[in-house]
A and B are shown apart, each in its own frame.
Chain A
C-alpha cells in the first residue's frame, strides 16, 4: 500500500468524504505536524482505543475546543523553542467549527496563532445521527430540521464561515472540495507556507446523512461545485484572489439535489419546484458574487483535464 499518514482500518462509513478529506490534508502536510480534532465522526472513526489511524501526533479533547487546544500546542512549541519541529493543524467538523467551537476559533484567529484550521464540512451533525448545524444548507431534511406537512426542511442559509474568518483578518482562507483532491492538497501546502492563522473549509459528502450513493461521493461533491452551490475560492488578506471556474452554463441545482435523499422531498411534494427555485437563486447569487462562470467552455475543459 501507499504510505499514508492517515491510515486504513479506520471505521468511517462506506464512501465517507470526511475520511478522504482528512487523509488528503495530513498527507499533503507531511509528518512534521501536530493535529488537534474536535469531537465528532472523524475523532470517533479514527481513534477508538487502543487503535489510532493517525501516523502523526494527534489530540482530541472536546467538541468545542479544537482551536483552543491547538492554540495551546502552538504556544507550547514557541515557549519551548520547538517551532521548527512541527506545524499545527486544528480540525473539526462543521458543527464543531461553525457552531459550538466558533468562540474558540475566533480566539485562535484573533490572537494570530500560527495554525491551519481545517473544517470538514459535511453539512450536519452526522456523528449524533444527522441533525442540522449552522452549515446545513437550505431545505435540507435532517432529524432536527425535518421535512413535514408544514416544513421544507432546514429554514436557514449556510453560515458564511470564510467571511467570518476574513473579518478576523485571517491572511489565508480557502474553500475546497474532495471532488478536487489535488486542489485540497495544494491549498493545505500553500496555507502551511504562510505564517499566522489559516482557514480551509473542505466540502465532504456524507452518504449516510445526505442519503446519497457512497460510490457517488466524488460526483455529488463535484455537482455541488458545478451548480454554484459550493463556491471554491481562495481569499488572501481579505480579497478573493482565485476562484474555481465552473463550466458555462452552470448545471441546474436539480441535478445535484436529485442525487440526495436529504432533498428528495423537494421532488415529491407539490410546490417543491418553488423551493428548488429558491435554491437555484442561492447558486445564482454565488455565481455572481464570486464570478464563478468560466469565460469560455473550452478553457474549463482544459483545467478539468489537468485536475
Chain B
C-alpha cells in the first residue's frame, strides 16, 4: 500500500488500471476527462495492456463496452451528464443482457441551461436502467469503489453493470492523500473475469433475442431479483475489502453519530464530508444530530435504511438532484421505505447544490436549525429569491 497525494481522477484511473480491464471505451466530457486521459496515457505508455477504443460518442462508448463484455472482456467506460444521457438506451441494454460493465460517472448537472458543474441529476435520472449505483464520499472511497465494483458486477449471482458515482470537480479534480493498493493485492482481490456465456464459435449462443408477452416480464423480473439480491454481495465485498485493506466506508449505508440521534441527515456523495463537519459543530451545541450515508442507491437498501432511521424523530434528506414535478428523489424513496414503520420519523426533503451551488457547513447547520419553520414539502435550499421575482 502506498500513500500518494493525488487528484481524484488520477486515483480512480490508477485503481481502474489495477483492475486490469481488457477493453476501455470513453468519449471526452467534462468533468470525466481526466480519468479517460490518464487511462489513455497508461495504455500509450504500455503500463496498461488494454484495447482503448476512441469512440465517436458516448452512445458508441457504451455500445463498444457492451460488445466487448459480451465477448468475455472486462470492460470499462466513464462519462458525465449529457454523455450519460446519450448512453441511456445502451445502459438498459447492458443490464438487460446481464453484462458486468463498470462505469465511472463523474456527476454533473444536466442541460438546459448548460452547466458543467456538479450535481447528481445525471446518474439519478438513469436510476431505472438496472445498474448498481454506488456513491463515493471522498477520493479514497471513489478509488476503492472501482475494485469493489468489478467484484460485485462479475459475481455469478449478480452479473450486472455497476456505476461508480463521484461528484464532478469536487472529487474528480480535487487533490487528497490516497492509499493505493499494490497490483499483487489487487489481483488477489479481483481474479480475472471468467464468464459462463460469451460470444464464441465454441458455443455459438444468441444474445439479445426478442421476447414477447409470454416471457418478457419474467426476464425483467429476473433482472430485478438479481439487482435486489446484489445488496448481499455489496455488503460481502465491502467486508472483504476491509479485511484485506483495512478500509471501510460503509457497505449499503454508513452512519455517523447516529447513536441516540433525534435528527438524522440523509445524503449521498461528497456532501457527506461536509455534513460530518456540521454534525461535529452541532453536537458541541447539544443538538442530537446524526448522519445516514446512502452509499448504494441502486439497489435501494430499504431494510438498512429502515434499521438506521427507526429511532429518529426527524429525518432531513438532502438531494443533489430532483424529479421535477415531484421532489427530491432520495427523500421520496426514504418516505416509501418508512411507510410501514410505527411512529415513523417526520421526513423533510431538501434539494441543494444544483449545478455546482456550494453546500457549505453553514448550509447544513441552517437546514438543521430551520427545520421547524419550514413545511413538509421538499424545498430548494439557499435559493436566491431575487432571481425568481
Contact = CB atoms under 8 A, between A and B. Distances in A.
A28 B85 CA distance: 40
B200 A69 contact: no
A64 B57 CA distance: 12
A291 B72 CA distance: 47
A86 interface: yes
B68 interface: yes
Given A69-B67, A77-B71, A86 B200 contact: yes
B25 A72 contact: yes
A66 to B, nearest CB: 9
Specify which of A43, A56, A71, A106 lies most central, judged by the most chain B CB atoms within 10 Å of its CB.
A71
B201 A79 contact: no
A80 B204 contact: no
Contact of A72 (B53, B208, B211, B215): B53
B25 A34 contact: no
B63 A65 contact: yes
Q: Which of A44, A78, A107, A111 has the most CB of B within 10 A?
A: A107
A32 interface: yes
A82 B93 CA distance: 25
Interface stretch (A46-54, A118-126, A140-148, A236-244): A46-54
A61 B205 contact: no
A86 B207 CA distance: 17
A249 interface: no
Nearest to B60: A68
A259 to B, nearest CB: 32
A65 B60 contact: yes
Nearest to B71: A76
Interface string A57-96: 1111110110011111101111110100110000000000
Number of chain B interface residues as a range: 35 or more
A79 B22 contact: yes
Interface in B207-227: 207-212, 215
B60 A43 contact: no
B55 A107 contact: yes
B102 interface: no
Contacts of A80: 22, 71-73
B200 A75 contact: no
Q: Which of B73, B203, B212 has the most CB of A within 10 A?
A: B73
Contacts, number: 166
Interface in B34-63: 49-51, 53-57, 59-60, 63
A65 B204 contact: no
B165 interface: no
Contacts of A32: 201
A48 B215 CA distance: 11
A179 interface: no
B120 interface: no
Contacts of B206: 47, 52, 54, 57-60
A31 interface: yes
Contact of A73 (B71, B203, B208, B212): B71
Interface string B258-290: 000000000000000000000000000000000
A78 B65 CA distance: 14
B73 to A, nearest CB: 4
Contacts of B66: 61, 65, 69, 72
A232 to B, nearest CB: 30
B136 interface: no
A43 B210 CA distance: 8
A277 to B, nearest CB: 41
Interface in B53-93: 53-57, 59-60, 63-73, 75, 89-90, 93
Given A59-B207, A111-B54, A104 B59 contact: yes
B381 interface: no
B23 interface: yes
B200 A85 contact: yes
B60 A47 contact: no
Contact of B204 (A54, A62, A71): A54
Given A57-B199, A62-B93, A106-B56, A79 B23 contact: yes
B73 A71 contact: no
A86 B51 CA distance: 17
Interface string A1-33: 000000000000000000000000000000111
Contacts of B65: 72
Given A75-B73, A78-B51, A80-B71, 13 more contacts: A31-B201, A48-B210, A56-B204, A59-B70, A65-B66, A69-B66, A72-B67, A72-B75, A79-B23, A80-B73, A86-B201, A103-B59, A104-B63
23 contacts: A48-B210, A48-B211, A49-B209, A50-B215, A52-B206, A56-B204, A57-B200, A57-B204, A57-B205, A61-B90, A61-B93, A62-B63, A64-B59, A65-B63, A71-B63, A72-B23, A75-B53, A76-B72, A77-B71, A80-B72, A103-B60, A104-B60, A107-B55
Query: What 9 pairs across the A-B complex have the smallest Cβ distances?
Result: A72-B67, A68-B63, A76-B71, A76-B73, A69-B67, A60-B208, A65-B63, A52-B206, A72-B68
